[in-house]
Amino acid sequence: MYNPIPMNNNSFDLVIFDCDGVLVDSEPLANQVYVQMLAEYGFDVNHEEYLHKFSGVSIHNRLEVTSRQLSWTPPTDFYPLFNVRLAALSKQELKPVAGIHALIESLTVPICIASNGSRSEIMLRLKIAELTQQFEGAIFSGLEVPNAKPAPDVYLAAAQAFNVRPERCIVVEDSIPGVTAGVRAGMKVYGHAACTDPRTLQEAGAIPFANMFELKNILAKQDQPADS
């Protein structure tokens, strides 16, 4: 699919970004819609608790956990209605994660996205956040591989498409399922500690970082010839 990446003296050849919570600040918006919809069905849940609890978790898995804990059967239209409301809110309020443009511009190796979201969801988020051009269609969806995160499939698919060995890939994630997927793929994982505790990210196998400006400096030190 993509041209092979020539080997270099740098410590990595490909940077693979998750989308939600890494490229775009969508997790708070998804949580806002989810909590509001639960309230409409009579469930008053803790907003902050759910934000941290379900960061990086698909709506299907959120519903599975919530319905079990609340002894509640969600209506069949919950999922499509959630998507409609989230898309509307995203068009109004979605923003790129602070510093992500500067980080991307600083990289000298190819980049791509590997997300559990659908291709259409990913493309919508990129368009709103003005990030479409940077990725030039290099999008990999967990819905298009046999198993979504926390399985490593989507990350391995990205590495294979770019003809890069897993150990030469860097993954940027913000959730435990995503970190787990990257670790299982045999890749070096950096964990954005925005909605997830840095200790939890580290325990899952990631190197935690506070913001994209910090990660930019970290990767800049690695993205150079070994004899420089």
- Co-location of 99 and 84 in the same domain: no
Give the pLDDT confidence score for residue 7 in this predicted structure. Answer: 47
Same domain, 217 and 124: yes
My answer on whether 141 and 84 are in the same domain is no
Residues in the chain, overall count? 228
Angular region, 99: left φ>0, alpha ψ -120 to 50, beta rest: left
pLDDT of the residue at 117: 87
From edge to edge, which strands make up the β-sheet containing 207-209? Answer: 139-141, 111-115, 14-17, 169-173, 188-192, 207-209
Range of the domain at 172: 14-25+95-222
Boundary-marking domain end, from 72, 93, 114? 93
The confidence score (pLDDT) of residue 204 equals 97
φ, ψ (nearest 5 deg) of residue 111 = -130, 160
Shared-domain flag, residues 54 and 104 = no
Instruction: Give the CATH number of the domain where residue 150 resides.
Output: 3.40.50.1000
| CA-based max dimension of the chain | 62
- Are 124 and 207 part of one and the same domain? yes
Q: Is 132 a domain residue? A: yes
The answer to whether residues 215 and 120 belong to one domain is yes
Number of structural domains found in the chain = 2
Which of 38, 72, 93 terminates a domain? The answer is 93
Q: Are residues 39 and 63 in the same domain?
A: yes
Query: Is the domain of 177 the same as that of 201?
Result: yes
- In terms of domains, do 103 and 177 share one? yes
Cis-peptide, bond into residue 80, ω within 30° of zero: no
Q: Is residue 108 part of a domain?
A: yes
With a CB cutoff of 8 Å and minimum separation 6, the contacts of 137 are none
The answer on 78 and 102 residing in a single domain is: no
Give the residue from 64, 93, 122 where a domain finishes. 93
In the chain, the percentage of residues whose pLDDT exceeds 90 is 78
pLDDT of the residue at 224 = 59
Tell me: do 19 and 71 sit in the same domain.
no
| pLDDT, tens digit (0-9, with 9 covering 90-100), for 84-124 | 999 899 989 999 999 999 999 999 999 999 999 889 889 98
Considering the domain boundaries, does residue 227 fall inside one? no
The CATH number linked to 49 is 1.10.150.240
Within this chain, do residues 40 and 87 fall inside the same structural domain, yes or no? yes
Residue whose structure tokens are 């690695």: 222
Residues of the chain with pLDDT under 70: 1-9, 223-228
At 45 the pLDDT is: 95
- Whether residue 228 is contained in a domain is answered as no
